[in-house]
Structure 1
Amino acid sequence: MKVLIVVAHPDQASLTHSFTGVANQQLQRDGHEVQVTDLYAMRWKSEIDRDDFPGLTETERLIVSAASDRAFHAGSLTEDVKAEQAKLLWADGLILAFPLWWFTMPAIMKGWVERTLSHGLGYGLGAYNDTHWGDRYGEGAMAGKRGMLLVMLGGAQPHYDRRGINGPIDDILFPITHGVLFYPGFNVLPSFVSYRADRMTPERFENEGEHLRERMRNFFTAEPIPYRMQNGGDYLIPSLQLRAELSPGIDGFAAHSR
């Protein structure tokens, strides 16, 4: 199988890069092919602007979704974006490795998501009608592929428990696991999370590294998070509200998985 790892950290000696190396090594030991996109090393352009769409005239208004769709289908996206899209289409699995900064991924990785998952590839697919609201949330170009987050946190685990001051880690990561990975069709595996990253000891690194190696050994067999498919009957269309009889008494993020 083939795996793409996208990593975002400016320091090659960081825990993010160290655990990326562990994951890469184990996947290759198990016979998988791996490509690594190191966003800082390649000086990835984060922002979407007019330079992303060479076919756009100087006087034409930039409507990103429309420009992205035209450029994707015309094959006129910039070469860096086309190269990353080719890696995504090549891969059977995607791992996003990053430190949690201000409760989300670093800006450079958000820019990779915004530019690489263009209209026509990451979103904007399928019919919209009374029974089907586009190919997304379990459907789409990434359907059948696996996705996972590899996340480093500075805080301690209790800070991210159900009653922790930062909020539950699964809720914090939901916009990425559900909104970035599941949205274009990935089967999303539970995230690998390492706490107190700046206080990592060699002993704990070895212990957590073994846990990560085990996760990699099971990358293509582990059960994904049971998110509800948009067009699978759990949601009313076109309101996209969860049916009242499902997850009774539960709302918010938790309602959207079985």
Structure 2
Amino acid sequence: MYVNIFLILAYPNPHSFNHAIADVANRALLNAGHTVLFHDLYQEGFDPVLTSDEIPRDGSLSHEVFIHCDEIAMADGIIVVHPNWWGMPPAIMKGWIDRVIRPGVAYRFLEGDNGEGVPVGLLQARAAIVFNTANTPEHRENEVFGDPLEQIWKDCVFGLCGVTNFWRDIFRVVVTSDDIQRKKWLDQVHDRVMQVFPGV
């Protein structure tokens, strides 16, 4: 059963379509009886800079990072919302990955492995959804850039941390979309959330 869902958003404009996506996902989860652990990284002023003191497995963590680590570790499911910027998440989201998806929380290395091997995933979340917005048409994204965000989230983050049930929806081209198209996309967000995380 999915109970605690970690929902994380990275977009600086509070009136953005990314915020609308996160709002629809949040309300759908709450209406279905889930507990939502929601973080708007820009609104919270999350510091994305990883310090050298944090790098060791038993490194010194700020209270903010400790809370994020505790919540991601207890989450039964994860939803990520952010735009495609240069084929990458926004810097604040990358910094969140650096600081929170850390050894002892999201993965560990086997005894005798000093970090050169493949880690064992520790996250208990059984499913993850990533919602991305983009202004690059699908054919150009796939043919020219190869859709790097798919590999970043599916393989490099969630796959290594033990979350193998993965869905990703991309909404494009946002900059030229109208209200009718955006309503259809938001309906798609609701349906995906309910498909992956049905009511408690």
Which TM-score bucket, shorter chain as reference? 0.7 to 0.9
Are the aligned partners of 1:124 and 1:134 in contact in 2 as well (CA < 8 Å)? no
Q: Name the structure 1 match of 2:163.
A: 186
Match of 1:175 among 129, 149, 152: 152
Q: 1:182 to 1:45 in 2, by over 3 A?
A: same
Runs of 4+ more than 3 Å apart: 125-129
Mapped to 2, the partners of 1:122 and 1:154 lie a distance apart of 32
- Aligned AA (1:181): F
- Aligned AA (1:190): W
Q: 1:46 to 1:144 in 2, by over 3 A?
A: closer
Mapped to 2, the partners of 1:206 and 1:82 lie a distance apart of 37
Q: Name the structure 2 match of 1:95.
A: 79
Identity of aligned residues (%): 21
Match of 1:96, SS?
strand
Mapped to 2, the partners of 1:172 and 1:91 lie a distance apart of 22
Q: Name the structure 2 match of 1:238.
A: none
Q: Of Structure 1 and Structure 2, which has the larger fraction of its residues in strand? A: 2
Please give the TM-score of this superposition, normalised by the length of structure 1: 0.69
What displacement does 1:128 show? 5.4
Larger of the two Rg values belongs to structure: 1
Match of 1:166 among 138, 142, 145: 145
User: Could you say what the CA RMSD is over the residues aligned between the two structures, in angstroms?
Assistant: 2.0
Q: 1:145 to 1:125 in 2, by over 3 A?
A: farther
- Aligned AA (2:104): G
Mapped to 1, the partners of 2:10 and 2:98 lie a distance apart of 15
Q: Number of matched residues? A: 193
Q: Structure 2: which 5+ residue stretches go unaligned?
A: none
Mapped to 2, the partners of 1:218 and 1:127 lie a distance apart of 38
- Aligned AA (1:154): N
Are the aligned partners of 1:128 and 1:134 in contact in 2 as well (CA < 8 Å)? no
- Aligned AA (1:104): M
Match of 1:70 among 47, 58, 69: 58
Q: Name the structure 2 match of 1:10.
A: 12
Mapped to 1, the partners of 2:167 and 2:125 lie a distance apart of 16
Mapped to 2, the partners of 1:188 and 1:106 lie a distance apart of 24
List per-residue Cα deviations over 1:59-101 (Å, max 9, x = no partner).
xxxxx3xx2x122xxxx42111101011112311111110011
List per-residue Cα deviations over 1:106-135 (Å, max 9, x = no partner).
110011011011222223343458xxx665
Q: Of Structure 1 and Structure 2, which has the larger fraction of its residues in helix? A: 2
Match of 1:22 among 6, 21, 24: 24
Mapped to 2, the partners of 1:24 and 1:190 lie a distance apart of 17
List per-residue Cα deviations over 1:131-160 (Å, max 9, x = no partner).
xx6653xxx211453222110111122223
Q: Name the structure 2 match of 1:114.
A: 98
